[in-house]
Amino acid sequence: MDNLNIAILSKKEHPELAKSIADLTGLSISKIFVFQPASGESLFDTLVIDENNIESSIFTLLLDQNQKIYYAGPNRFASIYAGLQELKEDHQLQNSKLMQNFFMYGIGILTLFLLIILIFRLRERFIYRENARKYQHLQLKWQALTGQLNPHFLFNSLASIREMIDQNHTDQAGNYIQTFSNFLRSILKANRSRRIPLEQELEFAKNYLQLEQMRFHFNVHWNIDPCLDTLTIEIPPLLIQPYLENAIKHGIAGQDTGEINIEIKRKGQLLYISISDNGRGMPANVEPTGLGLSIGKERLETLYANRAKIHYTTASPALQDNKGTKIEVWIPIE
């Protein structure tokens, strides 16, 4: 009714108007709909008393100069009702069109929503298959790299045994063979897994250092964060061994006072491993190129992509001779 420019007067707000009309018409009035008079029809209004039955409730209302009702009777102007009826029909038509538009918009939005879900599901399936393919490729590559590492370590160990035998250190060679066989058995068992607990990896590293201490004379200092949960944190097997081998073979081998320092701690969501020696050192800004280190680097790239980091520096950069080498490794804790 708002589009008809109707003022709604409640009985409560205008009791005198409602009472006057009720007296004249004999109708019970709850609300009064007042239509403003047409141009030139001063003191003339049309009232709709019952909005549910417009045709039977249209009255002509005449007011005197004091705005008091002196006549209220059936409407003599049928055009008013006809206009109201036409407006009502137009309003109903507009509502019908509006409902149709809402329905079409709803169908369109629902179709778009279902299309988005379909695209998302297809994309999710594609990503899953692509990741599965990449994982399989990385798994095969990791197995191949690990297969290279074991023969490399085996070759170095056999060379150590031969050297002991050549020097007539048969008892030492026997102990070495026994320790090495136990160590190799543990390694072969660990290589069945992509990751092992850090605690197990530390045992491998300690056993390896014991084997090498039978060949070379050096001291090892461990600095492991006591708050580090070595049983739940997992890393690739034989991750530390190649860096220890590099520190011994290219660092302290041949020295009487060799020192190796190992530091392991947590830095945020990364596991930090530092291995330093007081050996010969290396030229500045030159990255070691040993086979074990190269394999270790490829393994990290295969497992962690760009989330792992390796950094090589001199252990004592303040010294002019760049004495010692320090290798730092950061890997994600998963």
Checking if the pLDDT of 225 tops 70, the result is: yes
Classified as helix, coil or strand, 109 is helix
- Please give the single-letter amino acid code of residue 17: L
Checking if the pLDDT of 189 tops 80, the result is: no
User: H helices of the chain, where?
Assistant: 15-25, 78-166, 170-190, 198-213, 241-247, 291-304
Tokens of 3: 């589009």
> What average pLDDT does the chain have?
73
Other CB atoms within 10 Å distance of the CB of residue 251: 27
Helix (H), strand (E) counts: the chain? 6, 12
Of 39 and 243, which is predicted with more confidence?
A: 243
pLDDT digits (tens, 9 = 90+) for 23-50: 655 555 555 555 444 443 433 444 555 5
Of 107 and 10, which is predicted with more confidence?
A: 107
Which residues lie below 8 Å from residue 247, measured CB to CB, with a gap of 6+? 260, 275, 276, 277, 279, 325, 327
Checking if the pLDDT of 215 tops 60, the result is: yes
What pLDDT is stored for residue 74 in this prediction? 52
What pLDDT is stored for residue 44 in this prediction? 41
pLDDT digits (tens, 9 = 90+) for 119-136: 988 988 888 888 777 767
pTM of the model: 0.55
Instruction: Pick the closest to residue 323 from 266, 271, 257, 273 (CA basis).
Output: 257
Which residues lie below 8 Å from residue 284, measured CB to CB, with a gap of 6+? 314, 322
Which residues lie below 8 Å from residue 245, measured CB to CB, with a gap of 6+? 153, 156, 208, 212, 290, 292
Report the pLDDT averaged over residues 266-287: 81
What pLDDT is stored for residue 60 in this prediction? 54
